[in-house]
A and B are shown apart, each in its own frame.
Chain A
């Protein structure tokens, strides 16, 4: 069964450094998403992406964040200058259509020191 994959599984970085989190969505899906989950808290929407542009973004997704689909398979989330409060699990998800169920990847745990 096809699944969303994410790399790396764990990323440790120093405050102020840039990080890129990578995702490979399910191949016939058209909508891609990033969510984050701070330890013990709920899953929070960051951004959705369709047809090579941002479809929707939350207040969390400020100028420090950007997304890109650099080729036909990868979908990336870049955080330009990480802060301590960016430490969280970041989940990528994809769906066939915006009305369909979203399938989540295993997540990247980001630790900012």
Chain B
């Protein structure tokens, strides 16, 4: 079945440093979604990428979807302590009416000030 790999599993940075997490799928994706989960919280939707090669920005966050629609990345510029949490990518397999979101294991970001 479809698998989504995400690296690194953990990342610690000093406040102000940049952070990147990478996501790779074993199959072509219809779309990819990124979620943030704070400790004890639930996944909160950040963004959805649909088109091959798509790049989207949200303030300090930049999201990319690969040309082959099998990989994606999230880059945070100048991290802040509020960025702490686990970032998950989640993909929907490229097939008709695919509904299941298959999550990666997540990258847990810690930020020290």
Q: Which residues of A contact B (CB under 8 A)?
A: 31, 33, 35, 41-45, 48, 50, 55-56, 58, 91, 98-107
Contacts of A44 in B (CB 8 A): 103
Which of the listed residues B42, B45, B90, B104 has the most CB atoms from chain A within 10 Å of its own CB? B42
Neighbour of A42 across the interface among B48, B99, B106, CB < 8 A: B106
Contacts of B105 in A (CB 8 A): 41-42
The 6 closest A-B pairs by CB, nearest first: A48-B99, A45-B100, A43-B103, A98-B99, A42-B105, A104-B42
Q: Are A58 and B43 in contact (CB-based, < 8 A)?
A: no
State the Cβ distance, A43 to closest chain B Cβ, in Å. 4
State the Cβ distance, B85 to closest chain A Cβ, in Å. 14
Residue interface bits B31-60, CB-to-A below 8 A is 1, else 0: 101010000011111001010000000000
- Determine if B65 is an interface residue (Cβ-Cβ < 8 Å): no
Q: Are A101 and B45 in contact (CB-based, < 8 A)?
A: yes
A-B contact pairs, 30 of them (CB 8 A): A33-B99, A33-B101, A35-B103, A42-B105, A43-B43, A43-B90, A43-B101, A45-B101, A45-B103, A55-B97, A55-B99, A56-B99, A58-B100, A91-B42, A98-B92, A98-B99, A99-B31, A99-B50, A100-B48, A101-B33, A101-B45, A101-B48, A102-B33, A102-B45, A102-B101, A104-B42, A104-B43, A104-B45, A105-B42, A106-B41
Given contacts A91-B42, A104-B42, A106-B42, contact A56 B98 (CB under 8 A): yes
Neighbour of B88 across the interface among A43, A50, A56, CB < 8 A: A43
- Determine if B20 is an interface residue (Cβ-Cβ < 8 Å): no
Given contacts A42-B106, A43-B90, contact A98 B97 (CB under 8 A): yes
